[in-house]
Structure 1
Amino acid sequence: MAGPRGKAISMASSSESSLSPPAVPMELHAVNRDKLLNYIRQQLSVCSRPLHGFVFLQGGEERTRYCTDHVELFRQESYFAHLFGVREPGFYGAIDIASGKSILFAPRLPADYAIWLGEIKSLHYLQKRYMVDMVYHTDEIVQVLHDQYNGSGNPLLFLLHGLNTDSNNFSKPAEFEGIEKFEIDLTILHPTLTECRVIKSDLELVLIQFANDISSEAHIQVMRKIGVGMKEYQLESMFLHHIYMYGGCRHCSYTCICATGENSSVLHYGHAAAPNDRTFEDGDMALLDMGAEYHFYGSDITCSFPVNGKFTSDQSLIYNAVLEAHNAVISAMKPEVSWVDMHRLAEKIILGSLKEGCILVGNVDDMMIERLGAVFMPHGLGHFLGIDTHDPGGYLKGMEKLKEPGLRSLRTTRKLLEGMVITVEPGCYFIDALLVPAMKNENTSKFFNHEVIGRFKKFGGVRIESDVLVTANGSKNMTNVPRETWEIEAVMAGEPWPLKKSYCPEMAKEAS
C-alpha cells in the first residue's frame, strides 16, 4: 500500500499491529466436504440405504437495498461457505455420495459484467481456486447431475432444511429450474452438516485464532485511545479500522456493541434504535462486545473497563465478580463437562461475590433455588462459535430447552466435546426491568440489601467474554486481552501488552 508522501506501509510492520493475515488454504473446505461425506455414508449404511445421490446446496444471493440498484456487501451463506469457501454470489454446489467428487455450478455471467465488475473468471480458474473436481454453469445443473448419477430412477438430492435453534429460522433448501426431475431428501443433510460444524478442524482453528488475535489487538487499541467525552461510535470506528487495516477483515462477526454507562446493561445494544451514539462521561464503565470475521470464521470478544482508566471500588467489585466466574468456568472446562453445570457455576460465583460486597444477603444456595442469578445474568453463559457468531448445533434432535429463568436462554445444554469452540461470557447487570420485580417478589426480596443496591441503579453492567477451545484434557483460551483490573489500568496508561515480566502493579500504583 502507498502511504503519505509515497512511503510504503506494511500491515505487518506497523507499530499498531504485529499481525499479518494468514493464507487461506482451500484444502480447509475439501476437508470439510470429506468429513460430511463420511458422516452421510455412515448414516445411509446404518439405514441400509444405497450410497448414491448428491449433497446439494444453494449459495447465497446478492441483494439490493430495497427497490434501488444499490448492492449490499455480499457475505456467503454459512453452510455453503463451510463446504465450498466460495466468496461470490449465485453459486450452487454438489457432492456425489458414490464417487466423492465435488461439483460447483457458477452463474453464467452476461458479457457486460466484464465492463462494470471485472474479468469473468473461467470455469477452469474456479475449479483450481476452490479445489473442486468439476465446475459447470448453473443452467447445466439438471443435465450434469443426471449424467453423473450412477443409481436407478431419478437422481436423489439431499437438500438442506432444518431449524436453527438459535434463531428459530429454517435453512432454505436449494431451488432451481428442473428440480422436479429429482428425488428429494430433506431429513438427513441438515442435522448431519450441523454436527460437522460443531467440531472444528485444525485448519479452521487457525482462522478462528487469527480472528481472535486481530480482534484482541483491536480491543487493546481502543483501550489505549479511549477518552472521556468521546462518542460510543468512535470506539466502534477504531475497532473496525484496526481489524480491516491490519487484518484484512472486511466483515465483523456481528454488529458492534459499544455501550457505556447505563447502556452497558442493554444486552444487545448497538442496533439501529440504539446506534452506539452516547457521549460517555468520567466515571462510566464501558462494555465493548466486538469481533472480527476472517474468511467467514469469526471471533466474539467482550472487554469491560472504566473509560477514565481507573476502577472505583464499586466497579472493581462487580468486575471481579464476573472475572472470577469467567476464570473458574475456563478452568473447569474439559470434554464431558455439562454446559448447564458451567452456567450454574458462573451464577453461583457471581451471587457469592455480590453477597461478599453486601449487595445481597442470605444463603447463596437458597438464591440459586430461587433463580436469583438470572436477575443479574439473564443470558446464557456462552454459545458455539465458528462460521457464525452463534454457530449451530446447540441442541441435538430431541433435546428440549430448559424452562427456568436464565437457563432457558442457554444456546446449548450439551456436554462439551474436544474440538468445540465456545464463548465464555458471564455478566452482571443492573437492569430495572428485572431488579424491580425481584425486589418486590416475596420469594426473592429478602436477598437484597435495599440500601446498598440503590448505589448501583445507574451502574449498567459488566460482561467478560473469551473464545475457548475444548481440548483433550481441558481448554485453551483463544482470546488475548488484559483481564485483571491492574492489567487493564496498566495498558490504558500506556504499558505494552503483554505486560513485561518486570512490571509491578504495586509500584505503578505508588507512581500514580
Structure 2
Amino acid sequence: MSPYAERRARLLAQMEPGSVAVIATAPEVLRNGDSDYPYRHDSSFYYLTGFTEPEAVLLLLAPRGTAPAQSILFCREKNIEHEIWEGYRYGPEAARAEFGLDFAYPIGQLDEQMTRQLSNATALYCSLARNTTLDAQVMRWLESVRRMSRSGITAPSSVRDLLPIIDEMRLLKDEGEQAIMLRAGVIAGGAHERAMRATKPGMFEYEIEAELLYEFRRHGALFPAYTPIVASGANACVLHYNTNNRRTEDGDLVLIDAGCEFEGYASDITRTFPVNGRFSGPQRELYELVLAAQEAAFQAIVPGRQYSGIHEAAVRVLVQGMLDTGLLKGSVDEAIASKSYAQFYMHGTGHWLGMDVHDVGLYRDVSQHEKPSRLIQPGMALTVEPGIYVRPAAGVPEQYWNIGIRIEDDVIVTQDGYRLLTASAPKSIADIEFIMKGGA
C-alpha cells in the first residue's frame, strides 16, 4: 500500500460510518497579466493523494454496512491542445491508476457526483472556512440534496471540520517523510555553507541570497520553502526582514533564515556569521550565548515532556546571559516573571515543521480544561531557534547595538531524544571562521 493510500485508510477509520469527506487542492493564483504565480498544491490534499495538479478534489466515502470505503479523485481531463501550451496532465484514468484511487472523474462532474454521494450520507467532513470557493460549493451541494427530501432522501445531519483530523495525522512523520526531510535539511545546510563561502564585505544581500537559491535548485529543491531572509547589520534585528537589498559592510553580521522545499517538505535553517569572516568580541559573546541556549533547548527534547519546556530551557540560558552582559538587571527569575527579556528575545524557540514551514498541529492539549502544553512524541518534527536582537536603546551597552543573532536547526523527535536534520550547516564559531577563510 502506498503511503497516500495508507493515510486515506487511517482518515477513513476516524470518520463516522456512511459519512463523506471532501478536500480540494489549492487554486492557481494570477500574478499579473496572464501570468500565474508558480503553482503549489495544498499540503493536506497532497498528503492524502500525492497529486500535484491544480483543479483537483478528493472525495472519501466511509464504509457503512456492506458498502466499502472509496477514494474518488476529480481532476482535469486530458486535453492535447492544452498540453501543447502547459505540459502533461494525467487525466482521470491515468491519475486513478497512478495514485491508487478507486475512481476518478473529470472535475466538471464534481457537482453532479457530490449531490449523489451526499444523498443519505450521515455527515460531511470538509475544510470549514479555509477555502471560500469550496465553502460556497458545499452550501450548493447541501441545498441540492435537501430539495430531494420529498423523495425520502436526507442530507448529512452535520458538517464537521476535516482539517483538525488531518493536522494531527500530519504532526507525526513516518519513516518516508523523515527521509525526505533529512534530504531537505542536507540540501539547505549545503546552501548555507555556500553562502558563507561566497560572502564578502560590499556584497548586496540579494547576491548572497542568489547563492542559496542556486544551491537549492542544483540539488533538486526547486523552490525555497519560504521567502529567504538575508539580513545584514541592523536588518538582523528585524525578525521578518526580507527586502534583501542592503549592501553589506565590513564588521557586519549577516543573519540568513532560509530553507528549501524538497518533494513537498520544508527545511528551515538560520545561521548568523560575520561578513568579513571574523567575529568581533561582542558578536562572539552573544553568539556563544545563543548557541548555549540552543543546546539547552535540545536537551529538553525528551518524549513525554511538555513541548513548552524547550522554550523555557532556552529562555533561562538567554536571560542569564543578558544579566551577565549587562543587557538586563536583577535576577533570572525576576526577568522571566516580568518578561523583561522580551526586549531582546521576543519570539518562541521553535515550531512544527513538515509540508508547511510552520506546520499544522496543536501546541496545547485541548482535551484538558487547563489546555497545558502538549507532550512531545516520537515522530514530531520541529525547529529549535533561539535568538537575541539588540536595538539601540537607553541603558543598553553600545557595544551590542544592532547585533541580531538567531541559530535555527530542524529535528525529528526519536524514542530517546532527537535526530538533527540540519547538521550540514556549519554552526560553531571555529567552523564558520575556518570556512570563510577558504578552509575545505
TM-score (ref. length: structure 1): 0.76
> What is the CA-CA distance between 1:124 and the residue it aligns to?
2.6
C-alpha distance in 2, partners of 1:394/1:92? 25
2:126 to 159, 162, 166: 159
C-alpha distance in 2, partners of 1:386/1:120? 27
Equivalent runs, 1:47-86 vs 2, <5 Å: 51-66=17-32, 68-86=33-51
C-alpha distance in 1, partners of 2:410/2:203? 28
**2:286 is the counterpart of 1:318:** yes
Amino acid at match of 2:110: I
C-alpha distance in 2, partners of 1:124/1:179? 25
Q: Tell me if structure 2 keeps the 8 A contact 1:28–1:204.
A: no
Gapped regions of structure 1 (runs ≥ 5): 1-25, 45-50, 163-169, 403-411, 440-449, 497-512
> What is the CA-CA distance between 1:159 and the residue it aligns to?
0.9
CA distances 1:253-307 after superposition (whole Å, capped 9, x unpaired): 110000010000000010xxxx100000111011000000012210110001111
Equivalent runs, 1:206-285 vs 2, <5 Å: 206-246=179-219, 248-270=220-242, 275-285=243-253
1:93 to 48, 58, 63: 58
C-alpha distance in 2, partners of 1:110/1:75? 21
Equivalent runs, 1:301-450 vs 2, <5 Å: 301-395=269-363, 398=366, 413-432=373-392, 436=393, 450=395
C-alpha distance in 1, partners of 2:131/2:406? 31
> What is the CA-CA distance between 1:87 and the residue it aligns to?
1.1
> What is the CA-CA distance between 1:95 and the residue it aligns to?
1.8
CA distances 1:338-365 after superposition (whole Å, capped 9, x unpaired): 2222212211101212333344343222
Q: Tell me if structure 2 keeps the 8 A contact 1:145–1:155.
A: no
SS of residue in 1 equivalent to 2:410 = strand
SS of residue in 2 equivalent to 1:112 = helix
SS of residue in 2 equivalent to 1:56 = strand
C-alpha distance in 2, partners of 1:187/1:55? 9
Q: Paired residue for 1:198? A: 171
Q: Summarize the Cα distance change of 1:186–1:266 in structure 2 as closer, same or farther, 3 Å threshold.
A: farther
Q: Summarize the Cα distance change of 1:486–1:390 in structure 2 as closer, same or farther, 3 Å threshold.
A: same
Q: Paired residue for 1:494? A: 438
Equivalent runs, 1:33-44 vs 2, <5 Å: 33-38=8-13, 40-41=14-15, 44=16
C-alpha distance in 2, partners of 1:369/1:147? 59
Q: Tell me if structure 2 keeps the 8 A contact 1:469–1:477.
A: yes
Amino acid at match of 1:490: F
> What is the CA-CA distance between 1:115 and the residue it aligns to?
3.0
Give the share of equivalent positions with the same residue, in percent: 31
> What is the CA-CA distance between 1:142 and the residue it aligns to?
4.6
> What is the CA-CA distance between 1:175 and the residue it aligns to?
5.0
C-alpha distance in 2, partners of 1:466/1:171? 32
2:265 to 297, 306, 316: 297
Q: Summarize the Cα distance change of 1:376–1:413 in structure 2 as closer, same or farther, 3 Å threshold.
A: farther
Q: Summarize the Cα distance change of 1:120–1:314 in structure 2 as closer, same or farther, 3 Å threshold.
A: closer
CA-based RMSD of the aligned residues comes to 2.5
C-alpha distance in 2, partners of 1:91/1:55? 14
Q: Tell me if structure 1 keeps the 8 A contact 2:43–2:356.
A: yes
Q: Tell me if structure 2 keeps the 8 A contact 1:146–1:155.
A: no
> What is the CA-CA distance between 1:394 and the residue it aligns to?
2.9
Amino acid at match of 1:263: N
Q: How many residues align?
A: 420
Q: Summarize the Cα distance change of 1:290–1:186 in structure 2 as closer, same or farther, 3 Å threshold.
A: farther
Q: Summarize the Cα distance change of 1:375–1:80 in structure 2 as closer, same or farther, 3 Å threshold.
A: same
C-alpha distance in 1, partners of 2:43/2:89? 24
Q: Summarize the Cα distance change of 1:395–1:458 in structure 2 as closer, same or farther, 3 Å threshold.
A: closer
Q: Paired residue for 1:179? A: 141
SS of residue in 2 equivalent to 1:179 = helix
TM-score (ref. length: structure 2): 0.88
SS of residue in 1 equivalent to 2:35 = coil
**2:415 is the counterpart of 1:472:** yes
SS of residue in 2 equivalent to 1:65 = strand
> What is the CA-CA distance between 1:65 and the residue it aligns to?
2.1
> What is the CA-CA distance between 1:174 and the residue it aligns to?
5.3
C-alpha distance in 1, partners of 2:352/2:389? 23
C-alpha distance in 2, partners of 1:322/1:288? 15
> What is the CA-CA distance between 1:494 and the residue it aligns to?
2.5
Q: Summarize the Cα distance change of 1:122–1:392 in structure 2 as closer, same or farther, 3 Å threshold.
A: closer
CA distances 1:444-502 after superposition (whole Å, capped 9, x unpaired): xxxxxx3x61222232x100000111111211111112221111111222333xxxxxx
C-alpha distance in 1, partners of 2:382/2:187? 18
Q: Summarize the Cα distance change of 1:269–1:413 in structure 2 as closer, same or farther, 3 Å threshold.
A: farther
Q: Summarize the Cα distance change of 1:476–1:397 in structure 2 as closer, same or farther, 3 Å threshold.
A: closer
Q: Tell me if structure 1 keeps the 8 A contact 2:319–2:341.
A: yes
Q: Tell me if structure 1 keeps the 8 A contact 2:74–2:92.
A: no
Q: Summarize the Cα distance change of 1:82–1:174 in structure 2 as closer, same or farther, 3 Å threshold.
A: farther
C-alpha distance in 1, partners of 2:418/2:114? 44
Q: Paired residue for 2:148? A: none
SS of residue in 2 equivalent to 1:254 = coil
SS of residue in 2 equivalent to 1:135 = strand
Q: Summarize the Cα distance change of 1:101–1:379 in structure 2 as closer, same or farther, 3 Å threshold.
A: same
1:105 to 68, 71, 74: 74
> What is the CA-CA distance between 1:425 and the residue it aligns to?
0.4
Q: Paired residue for 1:131? A: 100
> What is the CA-CA distance between 1:32 and the residue it aligns to?
2.3
C-alpha distance in 1, partners of 2:241/2:85? 38
Q: Paired residue for 1:7? A: none
Amino acid at match of 1:241: Y
C-alpha distance in 2, partners of 1:104/1:396? 34
CA distances 1:64-105 after superposition (whole Å, capped 9, x unpaired): 225x21122110112212111211100011122113332111
Q: Paired residue for 1:485? A: 429
C-alpha distance in 1, partners of 2:305/2:292? 19
SS of residue in 2 equivalent to 1:317 = helix
C-alpha distance in 1, partners of 2:354/2:69? 25
